[in-house]
Structure 1
Amino acid sequence: MSTKPYLTGHYEPVADETSATALPVEGTLPPELTGRLVRNSHNPKPGVTPSHWFKGSGMVHGIRLREGRAEWYRNRWVRTPALDGAPYLTEHGPDLTASTAGTHVIEHAGRLLALCEANLPFELTPELETVGAYDFGGRLRSAMTAHPKTDPVTGELHFFGSSPFPPYLMYYVADAGGHITHGAEVPGATASLKHDFALTRHHVVFVEGTVTFDPDEHSGIPYGWNDAQPARIGVMPRGGDGADRIRWFPIRPGNMLHAANAYEDEHGRIVLEGPTVDREGFRLSWNWWVGAPDRGTEPNARSYTRRWVIDLAAGTVDERVIDDLAVEFPTLNEDYLGAEHRYQYAVSFPDQDGLGGYGIVKYDRRTGARRVRPTGDARLPSEAVFVPAAGGTAEDDGYLLTVVSDLKQDASRLLVLDAAGLGQVAAVDLPRRVTAGIHGSWIPDSVLDRDTREG
């Protein structure tokens, strides 16, 4: 049995691909949940021990719901060259197709794309079979972030590509039809790790933390904490000429992997929030990711939600930790992406002292209230994906979809929670325990170009 924490417990890889139909349902699935929940995981093939959790090959898990039924579950490896051992670095330079494709899976312009930030996207069929590397018709010539943002008003996909070598940061926009309409280098960027970013109605927001390129890191992910790396936020106007007007604002040392949201408030200030770790938090998480002896029992043990308020007129940033609960994987009703929102959700973890536990968290940003739905001992939920309710009018009229890994039962369930009160609406029993993963999406049938009636 492996001693690597990312190959044990909730993260133990499954050894094969499978399909199951007519899944048992407890409760009543809302009829508007007609589509697919797809989510990614690092799942190396049997006999393969990656040197870092992030190096594990991607496996996408899908659950098909339709008109109150749970029609199927299936899991498929993303069949990239890296799955069969092809190296990322070759004598000709980086191979952008040699991807783990194990971080996220999204839909844009009718395509399902499995993402890993060091590579090109990989297109999948609605049944999760691999089509191949996707470069937007030859317009994408760099890596693509695993965290693109879809503008809920225009349907545009905003994303970036980052690298530890120049050009450090490229910014792209693809229109609702999937055609890249803008691509430019962002001046002034550094080799700091940029995993996620944020989008407001008028600005693009990048975060450069205290983690940067480290040539002496031999895990295969060449990054490490460096006190000499300035932490800062870059703000630039959206649009074709915005990169020439980026402004950088210094912030406290730290590292933010995932942004909850950003928006312009009534005073024109930019408000950005996201879970962030300090030096010790990064050390504990990194040691877990690489399987070093000096590590906590969980990653994210010192990951606390931070808020930055950037006053563009005054040139200042107000920064503070706004919650003392260890959380990660923030989500929201994405109709509010880039706009002021009241509610956001996250997954809670035990802290560095083992206090707290796994659960789904709801924040009311207007009142400051925090509600936690514990999932139970040894039951780890996945990122909570928000799906709007049919005819809903309030921001939290909808459902949260999360897959819970249950070590006690060696099983997994899809939970459908009421996003308003976090009560259980329905649950779907899955045919196996699903490897704890990272990010995923709800894909309604209506947005796929392909005919899904036979899928």
Structure 2
Amino acid sequence: MSAKPYLTGHYEPAVDEISATGLAVEGTLPPELTGRLVRNSHNPKPGITPTHWFKGSGMVHGIRLRDGRAEWYRNRWVRTPALDGAPYMTEQGPDLTASTAGTHIVEHAGRLLALCESNLPFELTPDLDTVGPYDFDGTLRSAMTAHPKTDPATGELHFFGSSPFPPYLIYYVADAEGRITHSAEVPGATAALKHDFALTTGHVVFFEGTVTFDPTEHSGIPYSWNDGTPARIGVMPRGRDGAARIRWFPIEPGSALHAANAYEDARGRIVLEAPTVDREGFRLSWNWWVGAPGRGSEPNARSWTRRWVVDLAAGSVEEQVVDDLAIEFPTINDEFTGTEHRYQYAVSFPDHNGLGGYGIVKYDRRTGARRIHEAGDARLPSEAVFVPAAGATSEDDGYLLTVVSDLKQDASQLLVLDASGLALIATVHLPRRVTAGIHGSWIPDTALDEGTVRG
């Protein structure tokens, strides 16, 4: 077994694809949980040791729930050219189909899309078999971020393509039927890493941190921390002429991979929150991602929630660290995307001093309260996906779905937590330990009934 940390412990890859039916359930699954939980992970084939965690081929895991039963579990590699060794860089330039497809999986307009930010999406069937690369009928002319945002009011999908070479940033909007209706090159963007972004009712919010393109980085992910790269927030009005009116605001050095949410407050200011690492935090994470000697701690050990308040009228930014708990993978009730949310969820990690542990965190942004569902010894939960309860009457009226990797039992379970108090409602026992992964989505069967998922 390789000593690379991203191939050991919770991250040890699955060696094959399996299917299992009739999964054991403890507790009672709410009947409205009828659909699929699908989540992605970096999972290289046996015998393959990638030079960076992010270079591992994508494997999607799915759990099918219906009418209080757990009908099946299955896992499938996303069959891209890269899975069989095809290079990303060719004599003709980048091959946007040579994707790991291992970062996220979302549904839009009838398609399940496995995503990696340097490539085209890959379409999957509802049973997780690979259909092939998807370019929005030839209208997607760049790579696609792994973190698109769905506007809950319109059903539009907002996303971007970024590159270390001009054009550095292209913004796209696809309508609810999956047609790209708008695209624009964004002026003022640089080669700084852009992994995620945020949407408000009136603006698109980009984040350029202190990590930028570095051709001397040989891990296969050519980015590194650069103190000479200014960190910035870009605020772009939504609409056809928005790109021409983008404004860039300098902020303190840092790197943020994932935005929790953004919104316009009562004074018209842009409020953005995201887990952020400083220089040392990035070094610790990067050393783990590449398996460098003396790596010390695992990723996210210095990842603290930061809030920026951008005053467009004054041209200023206020920022502060609002919590000192090491967390990542922030989520919310997606119906509040772009509007002010009260509750926020995340996965907690041990910090750089080895203090704390794994768990699911809930923040009440109104009161400042923080609640943690502790995962237990040697148990790492995945990103908590919020699913609203039937007839929900409040923002946190729903469930959190998370898949736990249990090293002591060499097993995994799907936990269903009450999103209001984090109490355990039900446990689904899976037929194997699921490799710790990145992001995923809940795809309800109402989407199938409405014909918005093909297969």
**TM-score category (smaller protein):** over 0.9
**Alpha-carbon deviations, 1:168-192, whole Å to 9, x = none?**
0000000000000001100000000
Worse-superposed segment, 82-91 or 290-299: 290-299
TM-score (norm 1): 0.99
Q: Secondary structure at the match of 1:255?
A: coil
CA distance in 1: counterparts of 2:166 and 2:157, whole angstroms: 24
* Alpha-carbon distance between aligned partners in 2 of 1:452 and 1:283, rounded to the nearest angstrom: 42
Which secondary structure does the structure 1 equivalent of 2:284 belong to? helix
Matches within 5 A, 1:195-214: 195-214=195-214
Deviation string for 1:387-437 (max 9, x for gaps)? 000011100000000000000000000000000000001010000000000
Which runs of structure 2 are paired with 1:374-385 in the superposition (5 Å)?
A: 374-385=374-385
How many Å apart are 1:454 and its aligned residue? Answer: 12
**Helix, strand or coil at the partner of 2:285:** helix
| Alpha-carbon distance, 1:316 to partner | 0.4
Partner of 1:415: 415
Q: How does 1:66-215 map to 2 (within 5 A)?
A: 66-215=66-215
**What is the aligned partner in structure 2 of residue 297 from structure 1?**
297
Q: How does 1:34-433 map to 2 (within 5 A)?
A: 34-433=34-433
Q: Distance in 1 between matches of 2:391 and 2:448?
A: 21
Distance apart, 1:453 and its partner CA: 12
The secondary structure found in structure 1 opposite 2:59 is strand
Give the Cα separation in 2 of the matches to 1:135 and 1:453: 17
- List per-residue Cα deviations over 1:295-317 (Å, max 9, x = no partner): 13311000000000000000000
Secondary structure of 1:393's aligned partner: coil
Check the 8 A contact 1:110/1:449 in 2, yes or no: no
In 2, Cα distance between the equivalents of 1:204 and 1:106? 20
**Per-residue Cα deviation, 1:321-349 (whole angstroms, up to 9, x for no partner):** 00000000000000000000000000000
1:207-239 alpha-carbon deviations (Å, 9 max, x no partner): 000000001000000000001101000001011
Could you tell me how far apart the structure 1 residues matched to 2:190 and 2:106 are? Answer: 27
Deviations 1:40-70 (A, max 9, x none): 0000000000000000000000000001000
- State, as a whole percentage, how many aligned pairs show the same letter: 83
Native 8 Å contact 1:285 1:296 kept in 2: no
Q: 1:234 to 1:11 in 2, by over 3 A?
A: same
The equivalent of 2:17 in structure 1 is 17
Residue pair 2:111, 2:454 contacting (<8 A) in 1 also? no
SS of residue paired to 2:23: coil
How far did 1:449 drift? 7.0
> Is the 1:123–1:130 Cα contact (8 Å) retained in structure 2?
yes
| Whole-angstrom distance in 2 between the partners of 1:229 and 1:113 | 33
C-alpha distance in structure 2 between counterparts of 1:181 and 1:449, whole Å: 26
**Mapped partners of 1:232, 1:208: distance in 2:** 5
Q: TM-score, normalised by structure 2?
A: 0.99
Task: Give how far 1:451 is off.
Answer: 7.1
Contact 1:235–1:248 at 8 Å: present in 2 too? yes
Maintained 8 Å contact 1:284/1:294: no
Report if the CA contact (8 A) 2:197-2:259 is conserved: yes
CA RMSD of aligned residues (A): 1.3
Change (3 A) 1:449 1:243: farther
Which runs of 5 or more residues in structure 1 are unaligned? none
Deviations 1:90-115 (A, max 9, x none): 00000000000000000000100000
Letter in 1 for 2:163: S
- Is the partner of 1:448 in helix, strand or coil? helix
Whether the 8 Å CA contact 1:112–1:124 is kept in 2: the answer is yes
2:142 & 2:313 partners in 1: Cα distance?
Answer: 34
Gaps of 5+ in 2: none
